[in-house]
Amino acid sequence: MTAGSAVRLLILAAIWGGSFLFMRIGAPVLGPAWLIQFRVGIAALFLLICAAWLRKPLQLRQYWRHYLILGCLNSALPFFLIAFAAKTLTASLLSVLNSASPIFGAIISVVWLRNRITKLSAAGLAMGVIGVFILVQGGIAARADDWGIAVAAALLSTIFYGIAGTYAKASPKPIEPFSNAHGSMWAATVLMALTLPFYPTSTAPTLGVWTAVAALGVLCTGVAYLIYFRLIQDMGPISALSVTFLIPVFGILWGVLFLDEQIGWSTIIGALVVLAGTALTNGITPRFFLESGKSSRPDRPEKSP
């Protein structure tokens, strides 16, 4: 890993960790539907400008169904569920629960793609479940009436991420990651717009809320995708796997620094168990990184999850 790639990896983890902070600020005021409508809409416009600058055609007529499925599974539904959970749960808990996405992705790939599950992966799945249990029982979120529903929504979002990732891997369509991101953002924008009449806002957003919304759309979605694609091109799949373990670190850090969230030993232990389970589920051990470091740079980028 070069120094430049290491810096980009840390920046990406910090940005994506910050997305939970911004959703925690915006969701109680705007509600989940309007918050995510702004997020994907702003991101779609940002990526449109990037596509025009980079001269990357969207090929909408050819791949609109693919973009619609990906936009629903990878953006609209999980973003909405996380925003719903953000009305109740802390940014710290949200970031840790979200790190379980690869675990559900592994389970879904076994069912969908008929992949075999190894003893190491099975141990990782068990650890992931135990880690989530520790987090839930630790009481690191406000015990509101809908606390259990919020936790279920956050976990359900990771299942949709797993489905989306498996769908992208199984799809035979030769679509590059940037086009997947661009097309899926426009699809998510259209899908979220259909839900807005059912979720009217009752509170006028402040300047701080609008700032969080803008940061969520431009920084945490648009800019983050561009950094992510650069990492994949420079480092291969390792970059995507590595950032998974760093996001909760920044999610917890930003929650403590900017929202005065309190964390205890249950938070730390639960987070470590979830991350360890995620690593084992995906076959990531110290030996994995040693062997990966000896491999050559990939010739072409992988698909974005």
Per-residue pLDDT tens, the chain, 305 aa: give them: 577 777 888 899 899 999 999 999 999 999 999 999 999 999 999 999 999 998 999 989 999 999 999 999 999 999 999 999 999 998 988 998 888 777 777 778 777 767 777 788 788 878 887 887 787 776 544 456 678 899 899 999 999 988 887 887 777 667 887 888 899 999 999 999 999 999 887 788 899 999 999 999 999 998 988 888 777 667 665 555 567 778 888 999 999 999 998 877 777 888 888 888 777 776 666 665 455 555 544 433 333 33
Number of Cβ atoms within 10 Å of the Cβ of 304: 20
Tell me the DSSP string of 114-171: -PPPPHHHHHHHHHHHHHHHHHHHHT-S---TTHHHHHHHHHHHHHHHHHHHHHHHH-
Within a domain: 243: yes
Within a domain: 299: no
Stated length of the chain: 305
Within a domain: 304: no
Within a domain: 33: yes
Which residue range is the domain that position 54 belongs to? 3-294
Amino acid identity, residue 226?
L
Cβ atoms of residues 240 and 232 within 8 Å:
yes
Cβ atoms of residues 217 and 40 within 8 Å:
yes
Total domains in the chain come to: 1
Within a domain: 15: yes
Contacts of 37 (CB under 8 A, 6+ apart): 189, 192, 193, 195, 196
Within a domain: 300: no
Within a domain: 303: no
Q: What is the pLDDT of residue 296?
A: 40
Q: What is the pLDDT of residue 304?
A: 37
Pick from 8, 7, 11, 21: nearest CA to 254: 21
Q: At what angle do helices 237-259 and 3-30 cross, to 10 degrees?
A: 50
Amino acid identity, residue 175?
I
| Whole-prediction pTM | 0.84
Q: What is the pLDDT of residue 117?
A: 72
Within a domain: 302: no
Q: Mapping DSSP to helix (H, G, I), strand (E, B) and coil, where does residue 274 land? A: helix
Cβ atoms of residues 265 and 31 within 8 Å:
no
